[in-house]
Amino acid sequence: MEPAPSVSSWAEQVRAFAGTFAADPDIPSEWASQILAQAQYNARVKRLMTPAQGSTSTVRDWQGYRARLVSPARIDAGVQFWRRNQQVLQEVQKQWGVPASVIVGIIGIETSYGQNVGNIRVLDALSTLAFDYPQEHPRALERAAYFRKELEQFLRLCRANGLDPLSITGSFAGAMGIPQFMPSSWMLYGEDYDSSGGVNLLTSAHDAIASVANYLRAHGWKPDQPAYFNIDLRQTTAAQMATLLAPDILPTFDQAALTALGAQLMPSGQRYEGQMALVELKNGENPPEYIAGTENFYAVTRYNQSSYYALAVLQLGEAVQRRFDLLQPTAAPAAPVAASSLPTDAP
């Protein structure tokens, strides 16, 4: 592992970066310099971002991953979160067209409904990655530039929302708050839903709910559309499977194309007219599982570029909604969520 930068090198880069705000009307240069001078190098952040030596691939285990994230404790916490925020979830679903279950699933996976938002000072995490990104990464220069932009956006959002940049904590990558937004996402998609005068993703569940919905809608979520389907691949040849898997999670095939390649959706998905991708979920040494992911499945992967993450989000939200509906005194179900429901019919 390469050593930490020297104190003089660190200070020089920080001073140079602070100087970029000299002509910025929104960020006082003196304030930026004062804040950035208090940034501290965090070796743990760099270590967590450094690729493991000799690692070329990761053995995935979807069932193990799902068991950790779609757990009874997280489902119970999700029901409580839904109860506390039921009216806002309904309003946001109506306004943005994103199902309450998907929003609840994302917030549950990201921070267990605000219980685990990260304990690393964001200023330190972003500064470390902006000025000393691990050189082992194949795109180190590009990633360092990305984190310099995020550091700039972090200062802007703190000024715009009256936040103290020295006290905000988050993930080792600089994600913050109940929905774990990066600074640029906070600035672009954050919603002041409770009209407090500023976007508060640190403690406002209402702002977090609306911001997640706004983010997904901006990244292609289509209201009243499914997110994924079960699929029958028993008639698919090895060559056809290779063709189906080539686009990865990018929706590429319509119903006719899937059928031509030997793949068959279950009856509940055969009326869908949009584009889909064959999504492979590996199970370690056991056979993989497959689903057909739609444009809405792909939209969830814009939050975190992992098919495992997206399916865990959707299935956690579904599990929470089922439990929530069962516990309602009137037994009246919540608004239907065809957009994230996995059919029960099996191949």
Spell out the domain ranges in the chain.
62-114+309-339, 228-306
Does the annotation mark 110 as catalytic?
yes
Say what the pLDDT of residue 40 is: 92
Q: Taking the domain 62-114+309-339, which CATH number applies?
A: 1.10.530.10
What is the rounded CA–CA span in Å between residue 91 and residue 195? 15
Judging by DSSP bridges, how do beta strands 276-283 and 286-294 pair with one another? antiparallel
pLDDT at 249 over 90: yes
Q: Could you read off the pLDDT of 73-128 as tens digits, one per residue?
A: 999 999 999 999 999 999 999 999 999 999 999 999 999 999 999 999 999 999 99
What is the rounded CA–CA span in Å between residue 341 and residue 164? 41
pLDDT at 145 over 90: yes
Mean pLDDT of the chain: 90
Place 342 in a pLDDT band, splitting at 50, 70 and 90.
very low
What's the one-letter identity of residue 288?
P
pLDDT at 3 over 60: no
**In 3D, which of 127, 200, 164 has the Cα closest to residue 31?**
164
Q: Could you read off the pLDDT of 27-85 as tens digits, one per residue?
A: 988 999 999 999 999 999 999 988 766 554 566 899 999 999 999 999 999 999 999 99
- Residue 154, number of CB atoms within 10 A of its CB: 29
- Per the confidence metrics, is the pTM higher than 0.85? yes
17: its two tokens: 């970066």
Say what the pLDDT of residue 233 is: 96
Q: Are 17 and 151 in contact (CB under 8 A)?
A: yes
Say what the pLDDT of residue 5 is: 59
CA-to-CA separations, 65 to 70, 126, 178, in angstroms, rounded: 8, 28, 21
Q: Could you read off the pLDDT of 285-317 as tens digits, one per residue?
A: 999 999 999 999 999 999 999 999 999 999 999
Q: Average of pLDDT values for 320-327? A: 95
- Residue 166, number of CB atoms within 10 A of its CB: 14
pLDDT at 331 over 50: no
The catalytic position among 110, 150, 191, 295 is 110
